[in-house]
Structure 1
Amino acid sequence: MLKIFIFLVFSSFLYSQKLYSVNYSNQADLKVYVVKYENQADLKVYKVNYENQARGNDGKWFFVKYENQADKKIYFVDYENQADLKIYFVRYENQAGWRNKSKMALMY
């Protein structure tokens, strides 16, 4: 029982945020809308340059080249009311993070 608990706790820290942007909404695990202002977002996202920088569920995303490499497939919608998650792209890594923690489960 203890081994299972330890595995679950540590696996949540190791979870990676590798994403692939699909062309059609029915292919996506998650529909995402990019808001204009930071205070409208559920998640502030920083796009990292390397896969190993995208660890944890803290808004650091790495976009992979191939669908089978992704943890999540996302589709960028045109309208806010179509989205499961609203994001805002930040300029600096330390700005990334959740504003609406009730939506965190969407990225696991």
Structure 2
Amino acid sequence: MAKVFITDKERNANLKVFLVNRDRDADLLYFEVDKDYKAKGDALWYLVDKDYRADLKVFFVDNAKKADVTVFKVDRENKVKWVKNNDWFKLIKK
């Protein structure tokens, strides 16, 4: 799930996310890495420019109730983590 393509069409997304304003409100704290080899796990995202290069296609929704996962972008790599369990967390951790 580390190589991420941000899509502008909801129907093309594997995951709908909502960006929250505070880390304590998020399901997932994520960080954008600058090299593809640094992209690991669920929370270290490397943004790709083509959907076929992505492990995950993400669409940012405008309402938290529409989201599969709420996210907060952290400023350091060592701060990434799942904060709250949700259905996606359960599927990923199997």
Q: TM-score, normalised by structure 1?
A: 0.78
2: CA distance, partners of 1:84 / 1:34: 11
Structure with more of its chain in helix, by fraction: 1
Contact 1:54 1:62 in 2 (8 A): yes
For the residue of structure 1 that corresponds to 2:24, the secondary structure is helix
- Name the counterpart of 1:8: none
Structure with more of its chain in strand, by fraction: 2
Q: 1:32 aligns with which of 17, 32, 50?
A: 17
Q: Which has the larger radius of gyration?
A: 1
CA RMSD of aligned residues (A): 1.8
Q: How does 1:85-104 map to 2 (within 5 A)?
A: 85-102=69-86, 103-104=88-89
Runs of 5+ consecutive residues of structure 2 not aligned to the other structure = none
- Name the counterpart of 2:50: 66
Q: TM-score, normalised by structure 2?
A: 0.89
Question: Are positions 1:47 and 2:32 aligned together?
Answer: yes
Contact 1:20 1:72 in 2 (8 A): yes
The Cα of 1:56 is off from its aligned counterpart by 2.2
Identity between Structure 1 and Structure 2 (%): 28
Runs of 5+ consecutive residues of structure 1 not aligned to the other structure = 1-15
